[in-house]
With several copies, the nearest count.
Chain A
Amino acid sequence: MESVQAEQRRTDIGPPNYENFLHPVIKKNYGTWKYHEILKPGVLVHVSETGEKIYTVRMGSPRLINIETIRMICDLADKYSDGYLRFTSRHNVEFLMTDQSKIDPLISEIESKGYPVGGTGKSITNIVHTQGWVHCHTPATDASGIVKSVMDELYDYFRTMKLPAKLRIALACCLNMCGAVHCSDIAILGVHRRPPKILSNLNKLCEVPTTVASCPTGAIAPAVVDGVQTVEVNEEKCMFCGNCYTMCPAMPLANSLNDGVSIWVGGKVSNARHAPMFSKLAIPYIPNNPPRWPEVVDAVKNIVEIYAKNAKKYERLGEWIERIGWSRFFDMTGIEFTKYHIDDYRFAATTYNTSTHFTL
């Protein structure tokens, strides 16, 4: 059966042209949009120079969705948006429609299926996240479970626009950081804390020189154990980056007792007002506590709420912290400041406070 198709085997055709998928009104007004308004949470209207309008209804998604759900979404698109829809860069679904009167019915139907509408404007939109225990071999925590737990708690912020500014949360399950975790208002990052174990079959799975070279801190050295070529790890020098494991399957770091998550704050990506910023360490370690990671949820919620109460309009989390100063941030959130917060990597010296500018 497959051989027949193999004859016609096509390669390198690339993705379908996006033009095939554009709503006719979008096609017609392509590049001539004049302004937009957020009509209410999750609902946008874009108005063209020609006066034509396109309405968008944004639906939250857990990202990990099954084909039944996709088909359900397709049904909604057929019913409300002429079969046209899109996904956003943060994994939400957008229905693109011309008939304003269909908006509320669509919203009701979406909500009746258990999905929220929102994520626009000064809200907390979907959490960009990664695979975790669902599909990856290097995670220090799960992705989807924490995301679900956090969003259950912050649900209201998705469906309203009551924050001072956008607040973007991201999660990555290991230091590879598949996603913009390093530049998020709040980032949840899986961390290992036990140096790699060296499996006895290392010499079969890995090349010793490549494995040694994989370590950025030079913690790995060649060794001979029971007459077999292997490596050893200087635990003092290990900061648990996991790169050795990426290069050599015989050096797993994952460990139920020590893996967990860290919390980072104050990153952003847009150039609006302040230049893009990296997220900075807020909480070095919280143990994994599935299925709901309550300590993580509390930590995130605490930061969100204190920010929501204190920041000025338009001020992103990082902009707010920059204004009030980090000592005040730690004070206000009650988060403990530890030696782990002080950078000791390559650019450490550039993060020291070389002034007397601070409050006590």
Chain B
Amino acid sequence: MANEAKKSTTPLLDDLEKGKWPSFVREIKKMADKNPRAKDLLGQLEMSYRDKVTHWKHGGLVGVRGYGGGVIGRYSDSPDKFPNVAHFHTIRVNQPSGWFYTSKALREICDIWEQHGSGLTNMHGSTGDMVLLGTSTDNLEPIFSKLTSKGWDLGGSGSVLRTPSCCLGKARCEFACYDTLALTNDLTHEFQDVLHRPQFPYKWKFKMAGCPNDCVASVARADMSIIGRWKDDVRVDQDAVREYAKSGVNVQTEICDLCPTQCMSWDGRELKIENTWCNKCMHCINAMPKALRPGKDTGATILIGAKAPILQGAELSSVLVPFMKIEPPYKELKDLVEKIWDFWGEYGKNRERIGELIQRVGMGQFLEAIELPPSPQMIKNPRENPFIFYEEYFEEEGSGEGSK
């Protein structure tokens, strides 16, 4: 080993083969033995580790015919040294809802990628796509046609609808308040055109979470976050609560005291919930899943506008529709989405996310445009400043209403 390290051309990266956590360096090295792209990636990466800067140049526009996204162009700044990564584009393959696979399906992808790319992947990208990490321009069309022949399509990049993603929902979670997988699949198919062809001012992300635990981080990472919730009472199995208590759960301090609305009480025998106050935070249910369950009158809260910090500072999504039933064919939701996209298309500046646009025009203005009623659930608190854009006033003569 010590001997080998001495000869190594990648002494810095070699260090990252050590340690208990599985090593990405080992992943690259294993491919490097058979795949020249992977080999040159390793070499260039070692150079970055030495120089402490990236050696990738600004991406160029590359893609497959008729699509405006799905491929991230990437070029080495040292193609002389690393000719096999002179081009090193990634391909975003739209994952199935909830990242469920069969081994058969995955093997098919591997075979295509073995033939046409670096053999390296990200499972998955943080938007949700399968990311095939690095190939050259001439391989793009072949890969695309092979993928589609096996039933796969590209995900989004650029000013398009980005690949929607979701938590696993009803497939394996008892908390899911609507069918996140079905909705994700439906929206993805419904909006194929805007996913593949840039028609928006900037990117748009959908993320669907089955309940307020938000296991897909939708509130932080999606222009529209669809988070399941219920309207009726938390379902309580008192026997099971007592079981938990018996097995060591301190129902008072671990459950009641941590309820953010302080709407629970426990007398040692019965757990009482003042459901009108419950804000559906999930804590009590999370802590005692055998005893408590969300109600049966379920749907979702629609939130809007999350994004990363460039340029106005990061945003979390905020409440747009406090409660909506989420059932096929999802007409209410789709109508809403279309209205918002129309407004964004008309008023959004280039590279302006919907959340930024709403801040710029004002939430009230936005609601009016998309014909949604304002509701106190949308806000933490009403305005604190008195700078109100009242819209009507009476004309001097008292003859009628003016308006701005």
Contact = CB atoms under 8 A, between A and B. Distances in A.
Given A11-B196, A64-B27, A183-B217, A326 B376 contact: yes
Contact of A360 (B113, B181, B377, B404): B377
A342 B314 contact: no
Contacts of A327: 375-377
B260 A178 contact: no
B23 A148 contact: yes
A16 B152 contact: yes
Most central of A16, A17, A236 by chain B CB within 10 Å: A16
Contacts of A115: 22
Contacts of A242: 310
Given A12-B196, A77-B103, A257-B393, A278 B212 contact: no
A188 to B, nearest CB: 12
Contact of A15 (B94, B376, B390): B94
A66 B38 contact: yes
Interface string B91-120: 000111111111111110110011000011
Contact of B377 (A128, A291, A346, A358): A358
A66 B323 contact: no
Given A35-B174, A354-B317, A66 B74 contact: no
B337 interface: no
Name the interface size band of chain B.
35 or more
B86 to A, nearest CB: 14
A278 to B, nearest CB: 4
Contact of B54 (A114, A139, A352): A139
B108 to A, nearest CB: 10
Given A128-B126, A270-B214, A342-B382, A31 B309 contact: no
A22 interface: yes
B96 A16 contact: yes
Nearest to A69: B27
A285 interface: yes
B27 A356 contact: no
Given A62-B23, A176-B310, A68 B31 contact: yes
B16 A14 contact: no
B287 to A, nearest CB: 7
B404 A74 contact: no
A35 B388 contact: no
Interface in A309-357: 313-314, 324-327, 329-330, 337-357
Contact of B114 (A67, A256, A313): A67
B100 A86 contact: yes
Interface in A13-28: 13-18, 20-22, 26
Nearest to A329: B376
A162 interface: no
Interface residues of A, number: 163
A314 B283 contact: yes
Contact of A273 (B38, B55, B151, B283): B283
A33 B386 contact: no
A9 B52 contact: no
B126 A178 contact: yes
Interface in B1-41: 12-13, 15-16, 18-28, 30-31, 38, 41
A291 B383 contact: no
B27 A66 contact: yes
Interface string B280-300: 111100110110010000000
A220 interface: no
Interface stretch (A101-109, A149-157, A224-232): A149-157
A183 B316 contact: yes
Interface string B33-62: 000001001000100110111111111000
B382 A191 contact: no
B105 A21 contact: yes
Contact of B384 (A235, A246, A343): A343
A296 to B, nearest CB: 14
A342 B99 contact: no
B134 interface: yes
A257 B396 CA distance: 7
A40 interface: no
Interface string B372-394: 00111111111111111110011
B21 A151 contact: yes
A222 interface: no
A239 interface: yes
A175 interface: yes
A71 interface: yes
A69 B148 CA distance: 23
A269 to B, nearest CB: 5
A11 B67 contact: yes
Contact of A60 (B21, B152, B386): B21
A133 B379 contact: no
Given A9-B65, A61-B22, 17 more contacts: A10-B149, A14-B185, A15-B95, A16-B151, A18-B185, A35-B293, A60-B21, A65-B121, A134-B45, A180-B221, A239-B390, A262-B386, A273-B259, A276-B219, A280-B384, A348-B383, A354-B318
18 contacts: A9-B148, A12-B196, A18-B181, A36-B289, A46-B173, A66-B119, A74-B106, A116-B20, A148-B16, A183-B217, A243-B311, A271-B227, A271-B281, A281-B388, A282-B382, A291-B16, A338-B374, A340-B364
